[in-house]
Structure 1
């Protein structure tokens, strides 16, 4: 071989070795991802869009996901079915929207008197929760990955003051998952209504109250214009995890580098969404109060009734559904340990700061 030819060929080797593995992976992967949220919500729906952007960024544009707002591709509460059937490769929606299909799906997002965002993320990734949720989603041919969290949510918007449990009797309220079951147990009439329909329903009087998320979203939806009383704390929802539901076959078909990029983007999205809520909610709550919203606290009687109802419902569900019972036992033990640890350090320190 001539010296010049050898040097020319050898020069190609470092360039090939320097090419990132992800760039050498299969290119041109395109997925569709419907969500359960309207495009107006820059926090939740924006989280789905930013997740897709992060995947494209990590794969140098080789793997692109198109996010669709609620109703653009499938109905707001049809995301799980779309992913299960392979109509779409992925979907962005919380598991507690689908407890009617399988009660244990609630643990994918969160249940009343449950985990904070940090605790849920720890349980899922390092506490055995991910393996348990994989078993729950397996019959649906879906893999779920935490990809966002709203943080602790407010107690909801009400047309009238709620001073006692008796004030909940017959109250028509939008409440999702087990939150709705608790309100029903206390005498209210929970309804599952698409997020984009909440304002019109309150305006027409077909709803008396709405529990959605927190100040920045509630302000965007205009809920302060149709209800005056805003309740806290959000003890029934200390954090709602938004899951990326992925069709199992579609995930298996991804090149390993793209699958890794997807999981990395989900972890980033979880943290990014929570940070956005923590940052935006403060100013939003100030604006709501300045506009006439009356901020109120749940009475000790109501909080005790809610907790008692939650424990009763979980016990009944555990007896009726072995899968739910097995996961609840594991989940409860992890949460109890977390609460002990937080009481020693984090919460104790935060209470000192709050009290000044």
Structure 2
């Protein structure tokens, strides 16, 4: 049995998703004079996808630093509630967090774009924007007032549209529908007549089961199936137009990060960057397998979004970005930069990837 299978079973057998065990890691010799930092997360411990990423990140930094900087992970609810990690790190209650920026729209409206933007950038395109298109500098400016240094730290790739108890046949079926969907996707749903609900990942299954929500989106087939959403909502929709990318966010207390020696700062940044590659590949591999199992073995009904829903959502996405750009000057800069990156990506993607996908499909 490989370690991935073992840890997935550990997560699943806990029911609510809070497992006691941690991901397997080699023994680490800690330097006697080393720093000890706490990493809080928004994810249940060992949850396939971001939960694994957070644990690997903690283990990598500890190993790479030779114990000079030891990171101890505290999963969702173990130290602070899952949607309070932003404040916990800013205030210094914890030194680091692994989470997603879309949870902080109420504090910094443009934060959601650093997870994903509706009808926007794929994972690789998003990386290009952050690393080479000025996205990181804007992200730093956005979080500076909160005492935080943000870094990309993992990616769950293309998202799905969500799980629903009833089939959605046209746009009118969204009227009054309650869906767990945070960030800009929630703003689009509201414009389409639905009611967005923000819940931490560990609360989604219970909300679907109890009827608190009629539908929910989280990530892709791999992580979604581990949470068991298919057991209470059999209709699974694609594509995830609201999040065509799933960037994980590492938050570091800015003052404590600046106080680190340069080599430890580099180790933190390098470990985060490594997870962008590792977790994206991991999700791509497991999503393909999980989708086949969900449809073939577990009776899930896979549905494409009706065309009128996509048309209306695309129009509403433009309005949502316009609204966001008008919030304040920095939000306007972020939206403009995001749109410029998207336009560049579309131009190259049409020549490169779209044409290849069509050719490959015809082979």
**Is TM (by shorter chain) over 0.5?**
yes
Deviation above 6 Å: which 4+ runs of structure 1? none
Q: Which residue among 145, 150, 156 is the counterpart of 2:162? A: 156
CA contact (8 A) 2:162 2:238 kept: yes
| Alignment counterpart, residue 73 of structure 1, candidates 73, 79, 83 | 79
Query: What's the counterpart of residue 221 of structure 1?
Result: 227
TM-score, normalising length: structure 1: 0.91
1:27/1:63 contact within 8 Å kept? no
Quote the residue 2:264 is aligned against.
258
Say which SS state the counterpart of residue 38 (structure 1) adopts: coil
TM-score (normalised: structure 2): 0.89
Equivalent in 125, 135, 138 of residue 141 of structure 2: 135
Deviation of 1:40 (Å)? 4.3
Partners of 1:247 and 1:132 in 2: CA distance: 17
Which residue of the partner structure matches residue 85 of structure 1?
Answer: 91
Task: State the alpha-carbon separation in 2 of the partners of residues 218 and 172 from structure 1.
Answer: 18
> Does residue 1:31 correspond to 2:37, yes or no?
yes
Separation of aligned partners in 1, 2:356 and 2:139: 33
1:293 corresponds to which of 266, 282, 300? 300
Q: Which residue does the alignment assign to 1:15?
A: none
Distance 2:133 2:201 in 1: 32
Task: Kindly provide the CA deviation profile for residues 13-60 of structure 1, in whole angstroms up to 9, marking residues without a partner as x.
Answer: xxxxxxxxxx9x995111101110111412211100001111122112
What secondary structure does 1:331 align onto?
helix
8 Å CA contact retained: 1:40, 1:220: no
Matches of 2:33 and 2:307 in 1, distance apart? 57
Could you tell me whether the CA contact under 8 Å between 2:174 and 2:192 is conserved in 1? Answer: yes
Q: Does 1:307 align with 2:314?
A: yes
Q: Secondary structure at 1:81's aligned position in 2?
A: helix
Residues 1:123 and 2:123 are matched in the alignment: no
The match for 2:218 is 212
Give 1:313 deviation, angstroms.
1.4
Unaligned runs of 5+ in 1: 1-22
Which of 161, 171, 175 in structure 1 is aligned with 2:181? Answer: 175
Is 1:318 the equivalent of 2:320?
A: no
**Residue 347 of structure 1 aligns with which residue?**
354
| In structure 1, distance between residues paired with 2:186 and 2:56 | 30
- Return the alpha-carbon distance in structure 1 between the equivalents of residues 293 and 324 of structure 2: 41
Residues 134 and 143 in structure 1, CA contact (< 8 A), matched pair in contact too: yes
Q: Over residues 113-155 of structure 1, what are the superposed CA-to-partner deviations in whole Å (9 max), with x where a residue is unaligned?
A: 1111111111111111111111101111111010011101000
Q: Output the CA distance in 2 between the equivalents of 1:317 and 1:219.
A: 33
RMSD: 1.5
CA distance in 2, matches of 1:84, 1:122: 27
Aligned length: 333
Distance 2:352 2:139 in 1: 29
Indicate which of 193, 197, 206 corresponds to 1:191: 197
